[in-house]
Amino acid sequence: MPKVEEIKIETLLDETSQAIFKLIYSFEDILVQVTQKEEPSILARYLIDLAKAFSTFYNENKIIGEDKQIQDARVYLTYGVGKTLETGAKLLGIQMPDKM
């Protein structure tokens, strides 16, 4: 796996990738809202939205492809989504499977 410094995120300009980036970057803000409002359902809705966005991304894009830079960026995006979903689920007390 390439180092994060080698990843060219700017190669993922499609709308679905951009939507996922926005969701991942808003994770911290979501956690702040959850704690301020004491509403875990905010986190649950966020995780559902992230999973839906990734499903759309996955259906529209090949993760493994011919262009190495795009492939590496998509692999890291997939990794980021998985880690965010796992962290959010843990905070809600939900155990995630190792594979899907």
**For residue 8, what pLDDT is reported?**
86
Per-residue H/E/C for the chain: CCCHHHCCHHHCCCHHHHHHHHHHHCHHHHHHHHHHHCCHHHHHHHHHHHHHHHHHHHHHCCCCCCCHHHHHHHHHHHHHHHHHHHHHHHHCCCCCCCCC
* pLDDT over 70 at 28, yes or no: yes
* pLDDT over 90 at 10, yes or no: no
* pLDDT over 70 at 24, yes or no: yes
Q: pLDDT for 50-91, tens place per residue?
A: 999 999 999 999 998 888 899 999 999 999 999 999 999 999
**For residue 98, what pLDDT is reported?**
76
**For residue 66, what pLDDT is reported?**
82
**Which domains can be identified in the chain, with CATH numbers?**
13-91 (1.10.730.10)
